């Protein structure tokens, strides 16, 4: 079992709190803490001092948990950080969260910011600089991206006061393709099932590229996508082929394509003036010029 005392910042000359926060393993019951339950190491000079539970504090914790044996519990000391007296200035420390792996859908980077007080002063001849964060980096749930799953969410990061300058931090979240098993139901246009539903796999939210084929049916082209929820059915519609539709005959390698007849210009009958020829002569002239064998009347030669 773990019992850990928290960290607390304190300006030089200030009075420390009567009690301190204690974090314990789930299942333990905290007593009502009193000042005598805590001990601070050494005089409160500028610097870091350990905070521990006194024998009384451990006894009170045991009395609050009579069914448990806390003699083997692990205790972690807290820290009381005494800062020098000085006029504070502030700096900003950041945590940049970068995303990658989802192509054009990849979210933009997120930058978290925390303001930190910088306290500079002297203790004797020594110049002391302390850093007191005014907050923590919050937890972040990776943004949802259709068809992908993030490899992690970002946990909260507490920032403790101390004498070391806080640094900027960088985290990368990678998106991986989300493969789903879903059910595809082939149906005709009346809603009747052609076969039982089939389990298939695909990337969430992406267009479906492969479909089963069935003899005597053709698929209705629709822009279907892999569902976001595996429980959502995907219905694919098929229509029966027309049994009376003509089928083009196979072309023989010796096939010669038919060429439509187009008469040559010399075979086209030339019109003659009506005043020179009677109707019979005009028709006969045209036939001779067309077939080349009918006799012409003497009056038109």
Ranked by mean pLDDT, the top range of 117-131, 225-239, 241-255 is: 225-239
CB neighbourhood size of 58 (10 A)? 17
SS3 298: helix
Question: Helix (H) and strand (E) counts for the chain?
Answer: 2, 16
Q: What is the pLDDT of residue 170?
A: 96
Across 102-129, average pLDDT: 84
Q: Choose among 163, 157, 159: nearest CA to 83.
A: 163
3-class DSSP assignment, residue 5:
strand
For residue 300, the model assigns a pLDDT of: 47
Give the angle 259-262-268 at the CA atoms, nearest 5°: 165
pLDDT at site 272: 41
Residues 57-67: tens digit of each pLDDT: 999 999 999 99
Q: Which of 137, 127, 116, 138 is nearest to 9 (CA)?
A: 116
CB 106 within 8 Å of CB 97: no
The whole-angstrom separation of Cα 183 and Cα 32 is 57
Neighbour count for residue 150 (Cβ, 10 Å):
20
217 vs 228, more confident? 217
Distance CA 126, CA 123 (A): 5
Domains of the chain: 2-82 (3.10.430.110), 89-176 (2.60.40.4300), 179-240 (3.10.20), 267-300 (no CATH)
Q: What is the pLDDT of residues 134-161, one digit of tens each?
A: 999 999 999 998 888 899 999 999 998 8
**Binning pLDDT at 50, 70 and 90, where does residue 276 land?**
very low
């Amino acid at each position: 079992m773990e019992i850990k005392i928290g960290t607390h910042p304190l300006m030089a000359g200030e009075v420390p709190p009567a009690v301190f926060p204690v974090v314990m393993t789930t299942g333990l019951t905290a007593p009502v803490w009193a000042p005598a339950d805590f001990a601070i190491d050494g005089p409160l000079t500028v610097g870091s001092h350990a905070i521990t539970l006194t024998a009384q504090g451990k006894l009170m914790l045991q009395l609050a948990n009579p069914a448990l044996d806390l003699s083997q519990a692990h205790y972690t000391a807290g820290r009381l950080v005494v800062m020098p007296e000085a006029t504070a200035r502030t700096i900003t420390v950041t945590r940049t969260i970068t995303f990658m792996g989802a192509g054009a859908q990849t979210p933009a980077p997120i930058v978290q910011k925390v303001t930190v007080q910088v306290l500079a002063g002297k203790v004797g001849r020594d110049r002391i600089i302390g850093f007191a964060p005014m907050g923590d980096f919050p937890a972040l749930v990776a943004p949802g991206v259709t068809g992908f799953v993030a490899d992690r969410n970002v946990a909260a990061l507490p920032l403790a006061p101390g004498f070391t300058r806080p640094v900027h931090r960088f985290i990368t979240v990678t998106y991986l393709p989300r493969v789903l098993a879903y059910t595809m139901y082939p149906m005709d246009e009346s809603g009747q099932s052609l076969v039982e539903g089939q389990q298939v796999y695909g990337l969430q939210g992406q267009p479906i590229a492969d479909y089963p084929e069935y003899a005597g049916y053709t698929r209705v082209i629709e822009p279907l996508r892999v569902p976001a929820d595996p429980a959502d059915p995907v219905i694919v519609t098929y229509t029966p082929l027309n049994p009376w539709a003509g089928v083009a005959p196979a072309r023989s390698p010796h096939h010669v394509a038919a060429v439509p007849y187009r008469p040559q210009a010399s075979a086209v009958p030339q019109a003659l003036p009506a005043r020179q020829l009677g109707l019979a002569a005009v028709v006969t002239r045209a036939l001779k010029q067309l077939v080349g064998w009918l006799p012409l009347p003497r009056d038109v030669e």
